[in-house]
Amino acid sequence: MAFNNNNNNKYVLLTFAVCPLIVAVGLTVVPELVDVGLSVERRKLEAVSVDFGRLSKGEAAAVAHPGTAEEVARVVKAAFEARFPVSARGHGHSINGQALIREKKGVVIEMGGQNQNDNSIRVFEKGMYVDVWGGKLWIEVLSATLEYGLAPMSWTDYLYLSVGGTLSNAGISGQTFNHGPQITNVYELDVVTGKGELVTCSEDRNAELFHAVLGGLGQFGIITRARIALEPAPQRVRWIRVLYSNFARFCKDQEYLISLHGKPEKERFDYVEGFVIVDEGLINNWRSSFFSASNPVKITSLNADGGVLYCLEITKNYNQANADSLEEEIQSLLKKLDFIPTSVFTTDLPYVDFLDRVHKAELKLRSKGLWDVPHPWLNLFVPKSRIADFDKGVFKGILGNKTSGPILIYPMNKNKWDQRSSVVTPEEDVFYLVAFLRSALDTETLEYLSNENRQILRFCHDSEIKVKQYLPHYTTHQEWMDHFGDKWTQFIARKMQFDPRQILATGQQIFQFDPLTDM
């Protein structure tokens, strides 16, 4: 039977696909895989060879399209027995290769796309939670829960990310100060471990696997189902931006606002973020629509501190029932803040439109061919005690005025982060996310921005600012050990227990996959 590698069929049954798989992986027949759809189409293999970061190139022998957890388990079991790597891919939005496979002999398991089972999102109204297939996107989760007037409470800024993907990192946004990251808002998971076993886990049941997988960078298992907490969905959002030219005042206000976590909703904002404006280009560019023509900002007139401005971004959710008191609640909160009085910008929009705001930016960038480009992002958790030093050394120091993307900055409370999860955060009770979300349109810019990232990291190291990377990227064993610090021993133990053959998510190169020296 001739194998036609160059056909128009999207999916080739393994009965056929096993041939190139055998060649590429060097396997004998893998009977477990017989009715799991595998594709070896070149276009497909190329599509899974990059992630959103576009910073490294992957290789794959085949792409699997499982529709059920059992099928995922079958693929991973085969990988475990035959010792080839497998990486789960949701929407492929990893920056540093979590969705990729570097070795030519691996299989990418596509969790999104067509093949998912029909009941991939189930809302439990009474229980106030939703059960979701790991490959589902948060935008899809939101649409499904809104049908019941419910919604998850902790978000990412961008909703075209898979549930399994964000939960294996943390999932952070302006709600994190109050609700914790997305991983704090999960009741239960179904996970296919690196041994190909399908395990249900929670705080009370297989707890070690549950905590390992949350923030585990895909190293311990593939999330096939997540049970996510819900709240009554707000209808609308009042979205406010105010400017600061003084960094100390900006931080004081952000820290004050996040100290209101856990207060009744009337007495706090629902979302606290912020961003740094180092060049006028930014304000006239991608976020221009917010600073409306009717209320133009003369940036140069604001007497920026070392040429740098800081924008606090806050929101308040509301619905018909509490619309009347909204203005008063907002004014009494704003009264406590110390921003530039003439710099208040307000928008009002439906809840979904607010949550889905980055998608609007995506469509604009896509239309100009500025989306599918390398993203040398640097995301740092900076301890509160050193954020002023960071400002001086980085925003007012290292950064040129060509940042090539937004720079987000906002604090969060460590007590909302479960210390049993695999994610690593700084020691202090309050730490900031500083996110350099850069796009590199040409190789010179990529070089320039990557070099700037290295300089920032070196500055932090030299000044002993104990930052932790979010969506971490390292190239050596020593760096990964340093990253995990106190948690390294546990991370290794969890790896030996749940993925002893080190076949999962090899693209980040935390463990060097080498089947010859392995075991």
Name the site residues for ligand ZME (rule: CB under 6 A): 157-158, 358, 361, 405-406, 408, 437, 439
- Residue whose Cβ sits closest to ligand ZME: 157
- Phi/psi class of residue 386: alpha, beta or left (left: φ > 0; alpha: ψ in -120 to 50)? alpha
What are the beta bridge partners of residue 345?
Answer: 241
Smallest distance, ligand ZME to C-beta of residue 157, A: 3
Task: Please list, in sequence order, all residues whose beta carbon lies within 8 angstroms of the beta carbon of residue 194, skipping any fewer than 6 positions away.
Answer: 76, 80, 220, 221, 498, 499, 500, 501, 502, 503, 504
Smallest distance, ligand ZME to C-beta of residue 438, A: 8
Instruction: Report the residue number, 83 or 357, with the smaller CB distance to ligand ZME.
Output: 357
Instruction: Report the residue number, 58 or 406, with the smaller CB distance to ligand ZME.
Output: 406
For residues 155 and 229, the answer to whether their CB atoms sit within 8 Å is no
Angle at CA of residue 313, ends 307 and 316, nearest 5°? 165
Smallest distance, ligand ZME to C-beta of residue 184, A: 19
Residue 347: other Cβ atoms inside 10 A: 16
For residues 450 and 376, the answer to whether their CB atoms sit within 8 Å is yes
Please, what sign has the CA dihedral across residues 358, 359, 364, 369? positive
Kindly list the catalytic residues: 93, 157, 273
Smallest distance, ligand ZME to C-beta of residue 69, A: 29
**Radius of gyration of the chain from Cα atoms?**
23
For residues 33 and 74, the answer to whether their CB atoms sit within 8 Å is yes
Smallest distance, ligand ZME to C-beta of residue 204, A: 34
Residue 252 backbone phi and psi in degrees, to 5: -55, -45
Separation of alpha carbons 314 and 233, rounded Å: 18
Smallest distance, ligand ZME to C-beta of residue 439, A: 6
Smallest distance, ligand ZME to C-beta of residue 163, A: 17
Separation of alpha carbons 328 and 330, rounded Å: 5
Instruction: Report the residue number, 82 or 153, with the smaller CB distance to ligand ZME.
Output: 153
3-state percent helix, strand, coil for the chain, nearest multiple of 5: 35, 20, 45
Smallest distance, ligand ZME to C-beta of residue 362, A: 7
Instruction: Report the residue number, 182 or 219, with the smaller CB distance to ligand ZME.
Output: 182
Separation of alpha carbons 482 and 493, rounded Å: 16
Nearest to 101 by CA among 19, 175, 25, 192: 25
Separation of alpha carbons 153 and 104, rounded Å: 40
Smallest distance, ligand ZME to C-beta of residue 275, A: 8
Instruction: Report the residue number, 260 or 361, with the smaller CB distance to ligand ZME.
Output: 361
**Long-range interactions of 342-345: CB distance < 8 A, separation 24+:** 343/242, 343/243, 343/297, 343/302, 344/240, 344/241, 344/242, 345/240, 345/241, 345/242, 345/290, 345/291, 345/292, 345/295
Helix intervals (H) in 368-511: 387-390, 443-462, 477-484, 488-498
Separation of alpha carbons 103 and 58, rounded Å: 7
Smallest distance, ligand ZME to C-beta of residue 365, A: 6
Instruction: Report the residue number, 157 or 353, with the smaller CB distance to ligand ZME.
Output: 157
User: For 6-74, where are the E strands, in sequence order?
Assistant: 38-39, 62-64
Instruction: Report the residue number, 13 or 361, with the smaller CB distance to ligand ZME.
Output: 361
Helices 488-498 and 477-484 pack at an angle, to 10 degrees, of 110
Please, what sign has the CA dihedral across residues 427, 406, 141, 144? positive
Instruction: Report the residue number, 158 or 390, with the smaller CB distance to ligand ZME.
Output: 158
Instruction: Report the residue number, 77 or 241, with the smaller CB distance to ligand ZME.
Output: 241
How do strand 107-110 and strand 86-89 relate by DSSP bridges? parallel
Instruction: Report the residue number, 374 or 406, with the smaller CB distance to ligand ZME.
Output: 406
